[in-house]
């Protein structure tokens, strides 16, 4: 029987040809494919600038560096996310802090965010909500809170490429939006990520940060050029570049992005229909424009482990998203977080199980997963 993972890439012959062509070309890295991929993403998202990075984590790191976060600053985010969202604050010497989720969206709760902002000293320099599972949370109140607190708004949209918020794409609303192209995401470049922004100055800083802080643009030089080879380092950056080979794959995948998102939405609604009326399961929040990266079902915490094992015995490899970040030993030890600090994220985590969801799945695969869940509950 076919093994089902919780997520998986879809690479076709056209993608392979695109990669081969890049490999045969003159540029393996720092060539024309990078800009082509960036332009395709910018057009798709309807934003002015996109800067690609070697991973979504590198993209988030670039975003907090471009925002100017430094020691003494805080970054406010959701506990229900992958550790990278919070870790990037630590990379620049800032402190990550958290506001609990709204169980109705599984995203950062705007009221709790507001409350946290009023409790904390006025040093929150970045607010970083996550469109968890692809849910297009209402962003206007976060924009207002960022404005009032003189903070930058960064949307972690690593789950949400191709999602829509009202009449535009996710990626358009925040000061910066981070994306990931990991194989389980909407398109893949193997590893890869990007930051979208409408601000030319942030774009400039992101590009510098991605390339050791070194620029070759004469209009940006601070030293007097000593020859046509002149380059200069203006900030401390990293090598976070994405190669031309990876960008060629990303560009080829972009051709099918709309189809990938549409298929994810179809599969999610198939799950919803088949699971409706099944006792003991709670469906994930639905919304217009949802990017359908994950299908995080909830069941009673006492049965979650047994259901996970039952699915695995039938070669259905579900996943759990996510252990709340402040509950990881590193965060507990370093910042003194304790169970109960983020009750909504913690109780969601105790009951969560993400079912397989990726465009390559057939309708029959969804039926098989739901049959397996039904069978599990029948036997109990
Ligand atoms: C919400 C979120 N943020 C950040 C990341 C980091 O992205 P990457 O794995 O591309 O570094 C991920 C990856 O899974 C993620 O899900």
Q: Is the pLDDT of residue 95 over 90?
A: yes
* Average pLDDT estimate for 146-164: 98
The CA-atom distances, in angstroms, between 3 and each of 210, 294, 375 are 38, 18, 18
pLDDT digits (tens, 9 = 90+) for 182-206: 999 999 999 999 999 999 999 999 9
Choosing from 53, 135, 181, 182 the residue with most ligand 1 atoms within 8 A of its CB, the one to mutate for a pocket test is 182
> What is the rounded average pLDDT of the residues 332-338?
98
For the entire predicted model, the pTM comes to 0.98
Q: How many Å lie between the centroid of ligand 1 and the Cα of residue 153? A: 18
* Nearest partner of 106 among 286, 257, 253, judged by Cα: 286
Can you give the pLDDT at residue 291?
98
Tell me: cis bond preceding 146? Omega within 30 of 0 counts: no
Is the dihedral angle over the CA atoms 344, 347, 349, 354 positive or is it negative?
A: negative
Whole-number Å distance, alpha carbon 226 to ligand 1 midpoint, is 41
Question: Rounded distance, CA 117 to CA 76, Å?
Answer: 8
Question: How close is the Cα of 229 to the center of ligand 1, in Å?
Answer: 37
* 203 within ligand 1 shell (Cβ under 6 A): no
- 3-state per-residue secondary structure call for 107-153: CECHHHHHHHHHHCCCCEEEEECECHHHCCCCCHHHHHHHHHCCCEE
- Confidence band of 352 (pLDDT split at 50, 70, 90): very high
Rounded average pLDDT over 257-285:
97
Residue range 58-72: average pLDDT?
A: 98
Task: Write out pLDDT tens, residues 14-42.
Answer: 999 999 999 999 999 999 999 999 999 99
The CATH number of domain 257-379 is 3.90.1150.10? yes
pLDDT at 64: 98
The helix/strand count (H/E) of the chain reads as 13, 14
Average pLDDT over residues 94-105: 98
Mean pLDDT of the chain: 98
Task: Tell me the mean pLDDT in the region 140-166.
Answer: 98
Please give the share of the chain, as a percent, with pLDDT higher than 90: 99
- Each domain of the chain, given as residue ranges in start order, spans 13-99+106-254, 257-379
Classify burial at 209, counting beta carbons within 10 Å of its beta carbon; exposed 0-12, middle 13-18, buried 19 or more.
buried
- Helix, strand or coil for residue 36? helix
Check whether domain 13-99+106-254 has CATH 3.40.50.150, yes or no: no
**How much is the pLDDT for 165?**
97
Which candidate, 297, 324, 336, 363, places its Cα nearest to that of 81? 324
For residue 224, pLDDT over 90 is answered with: yes
75 pLDDT tier (thresholds 50, 70, 90): very high
| Dihedral angle computed from the Cα positions of residues 207, 212, 216 and 222, in that order, rounded to the nearest 10 degrees | 100
State the average pLDDT over residues 308-317. 98
Percent of the chain having pLDDT more than 70?
Answer: 100
Q: How far apart are CA 66 and CA 231, in angstroms?
A: 20
Of 109, 178, 146, nearest in space to 170 by CA: 178
Question: What's the confidence (pLDDT) of residue 380?
Answer: 85
Residue 379 Cα to ligand 1 middle (Å): 37
Q: Is 81 in the pocket of ligand 1 (CB under 6 A)?
A: yes
Binned at pLDDT 50, 70 and 90, residue 120 comes out as: very high
> pLDDT confidence of 1, banded at 50, 70, 90?
confident
Residue 261, exposed/middle/buried by CB under 10 A (0-12, 13-18, 19+)? buried
Task: Pick the closest to residue 59 from 161, 140, 146 (CA basis).
Answer: 161
Please state, in angstroms and rounded to a whole number, the distance separating the CA atoms of residues 298 and 182. Answer: 25
Position 9 confidence tier, pLDDT thresholds 50, 70, 90? very high
Q: Is the pLDDT of residue 158 over 90?
A: yes
Asked whether 179 lines ligand 1 (CB < 6 A), one says no
């Amino acid at each position: 029987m076919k093994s089902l993972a919780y997520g998986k890439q879809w690479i076709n012959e056209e993608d392979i040809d695109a990669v081969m062509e890049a490999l045969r070309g003159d540029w393996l890295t720092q060539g024309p494919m990078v800009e082509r991929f960036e332009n395709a993403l910018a057009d798709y998202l309807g934003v002015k600038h996109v800067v690609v990075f070697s991973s979504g984590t590198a993209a988030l790191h670039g975003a907090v560096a471009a925002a100017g976060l430094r020691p003494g600053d805080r970054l406010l985010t959701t506990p229900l996310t992958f550790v990278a969202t919070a870790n990037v604050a630590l990379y620049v010497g800032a402190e990550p802090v958290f506001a609990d989720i709204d169980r109705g969206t599984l995203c950062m709760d705007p009221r709790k965010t507001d409350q946290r902002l009023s409790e904390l000293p006025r040093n929150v320099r970045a607010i970083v909500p996550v469109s968890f599972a692809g849910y297009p949370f209402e962003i206007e109140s976060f924009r207002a809170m960022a404005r009032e607190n003189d903070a930058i708004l960064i949307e972690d949209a690593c789950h949400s490429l191709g999602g829509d918020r009202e009449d535009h794409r996710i990626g358009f609303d925040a000061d910066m939006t981070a994306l990931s192209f990991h194989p389980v995401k909407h398109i893949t470049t193997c590893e890869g990520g990007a930051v979208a922004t409408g601000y030319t100055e942030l774009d400039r800083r992101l590009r510098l940060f991605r390339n050791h802080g070194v620029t070759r643009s004469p209009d940006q030089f601070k030293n007097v050029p000593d020859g046509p080879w002149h380059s200069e380092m203006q900030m401390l950056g990293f090598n976070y570049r994405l190669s031309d080979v990876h960008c060629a794959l990303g560009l080829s995948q972009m051709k099918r992005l709309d189809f990938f998102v549409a298929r994810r939405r179809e599969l999610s609604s198939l799950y919803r229909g088949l699971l409706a009326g099944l006792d003991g399961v709670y469906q994930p929040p639905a919304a217009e424009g949802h990017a359908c990266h994950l299908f995080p079902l909830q069941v009673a915490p006492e049965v979650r482990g047994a259901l996970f094992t039952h699915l695995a015995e039938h070669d259905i490899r579900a996943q759990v998203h996510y252990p709340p970040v402040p509950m990881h030993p590193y965060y507990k030890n370093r910042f003194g977080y304790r169970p109960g600090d983020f009750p909504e994220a913690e109780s969601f985590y105790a009951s969560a199980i993400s079912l397989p969801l990726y465009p390559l799945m057939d309708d029959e695969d969804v039926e098989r997963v739901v049959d397996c869940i039904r069978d599990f509950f029948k036997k109990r």
